[in-house]
Amino acid sequence: MTISRQTQDVLKYFDLEPEGPFVVTSPVDGHAMAGLRFHTQEETAKMIAQADAAFRQWRQIPAPRRAELVRLLGEELRKDKEMLARLVTLECGKIISEGRGEVQEMIDICDFAVGLSRQLYGLTIASERPGHHMRETWHPLGVVAIISAFNFPVAVWAWNVTLALVCGNSVIWKPSEKTPLTALACGKILARALVRFGDAPDGLHHVLIGDAKIGEALVENPKTALVSATGSTPMGRKVGVRVATRFGKSLLELGGNAAMILAPSADLELALRAITFSALGTSGQRCTTLRRLIIHEDIYGDFLPRLKKIFASVKIGNPLEDGILMGPLIDETALDHMQKALTQAKAEGGVVTGGGPVEAVAGGAYAAPAIVEMKQQSNIVRSETFAPILYVMPYRDFEQAIAMNNDVPQGLSSCIFTLDVREAEQFLSDIGSDCGIANVNIGSSGAEIGGAFGGEKETGGGRESGSDAWKAYMRRQTNTVNWSRELPLAQGVEFEV
């Protein structure tokens, strides 16, 4: 196996020497990065048992003390930011500035979780019974399983593991088979933080390498209290059903099909920049990628040529090089899906500009971004293709634009560009966007960790990261305390013996 020098340097930095029959290849140039061995069913069961035992000790440690481990993880990530970013780029193909941004997101969520450790608030509730009080308390949940996708190979883990640990849980992480090396590197980084922390129980965190069968074993084990799964909608359907069958908890972050409404009053220069990043960031392989552009017919004819010119000028190539804005798709299969989607779009009446394969770097699956003019939202527009394809459609009145925004199975992210306050407020109202994320004068992609991240409909309904997303990692308990000498019953019920 021939491994590039830059890959060798990064693996050596993280003290990784994996060996095995499963070859991890870089989407940048198709070269082998390492060989790995998948964990067995027996090893998976052992990890879950160890994690369950660790949870029973970890939950007894006060939350602010648990947060010290997360604080130390943030320090270690700061030390390794550049090298981990390079590994992210080598393994998933996003440009290096996005790789750095992803690691910064990990650092940010560490800071968020540390502060959160002193804010795991319950409620005090007025009781209808004299001499009683009620309260709501939150307790650690158990073993948290994280199943992550290739496009954000480390940030999704960080969103989950930081909150899970602060909330008193243990963690098992199954990364995508396409990006396991970043997971092993993060395991090494957390291991250093654990050594500095000092008194954490053994088995608090595991990295599980395997295919879908190993993922199934993780999902179906009754000791796995929460399964947080990020990926496609078909994957989420399988996970959700299997977890529900055993009455476990699931947190699902699935497909997206983000739209932007471009109103006549919009700042078009701002919109052009937002569209470019939202549609082309990570080569169109984000769940929040802008896939549908709904333009008012009065500005459609003038705006579209400007957008096509920008898309045609985007630099495509090695994502480690400065000035490159689009790297490769994750693999040839993704490129093939893109080409099939464009063929279907043409069959459904679309006019395609761009989108063909590009010989940017030998061995990589590179493609030019595509703009597809559609008269209406056809079947292909309503589906999610993980690629840099932007469907562009006109609208006449604002209610029609909102209806188009909502007329897809997915409900993750959405945005509007307008200087009309009435349009902006209607878009954010209960008769506006039906997505979990709705933005005004900012693109659909690039969420901050302070807000809960997630969506509705086929996106799964889960929420990760900020706000009160921590509640997904804990169990709620309602307490009633009688401090009187009487025993009045609720609702005035009388029951004397």
Is 287 one of the annotated active-site residues of the chain? yes
Token pair for 435 = 């997505």
Type of residue numbered 342:
L
Please name the residue that has the structure tokens 């309260």: 135
Is 253 one of the annotated active-site residues of the chain? yes
- CB pairs under 8 A, 24+ apart, for 402-405? 402/261, 402/426, 402/427, 402/431, 402/432, 402/433, 404/259, 404/292, 404/294, 404/377, 405/259, 405/261, 405/292, 405/294, 405/433, 405/434, 405/435
Phi, psi dihedrals of residue 134, rounded to the nearest 5°: -120, 150
- The Cβ of residue 496 has, within 10 Å, a number of other Cβ atoms equal to 3
**How far apart are the C-alpha atoms of 329 and 337, rounded to whole Å?**
11
Which candidate in 68, 76, 102, 253 is catalytic? 253
**How far apart are the C-alpha atoms of 324 and 366, rounded to whole Å?**
12
Token pair for 1 = 């196996």
CA distances from 453 to 159, 385, 459, 460, 488 (A): 10, 21, 11, 11, 44
Which candidate in 92, 110, 186, 287 is catalytic? 287
Type of residue numbered 433:
S
Phi, psi dihedrals of residue 225, rounded to the nearest 5°: -75, -35
CA distances from 230 to 35, 234, 403 (A): 25, 11, 27
Contact (Cβ atoms closer than 8 angstroms) between residue 59 and residue 65: no
CA atoms within 13 Å, Cβ hemisphere of 362: 0
Contact (Cβ atoms closer than 8 angstroms) between residue 223 and residue 244: no
**How far apart are the C-alpha atoms of 278 and 177, rounded to whole Å?**
26
Query: Which SS3 state, helix, strand or coil, does residue 124 take?
Result: strand
Contact (Cβ atoms closer than 8 angstroms) between residue 445 and residue 290: yes
**How far apart are the C-alpha atoms of 75 and 428, rounded to whole Å?**
38
Contact (Cβ atoms closer than 8 angstroms) between residue 483 and residue 176: no
Phi, psi dihedrals of residue 162, rounded to the nearest 5°: -65, -45
* Catalytically annotated residues: 253, 287
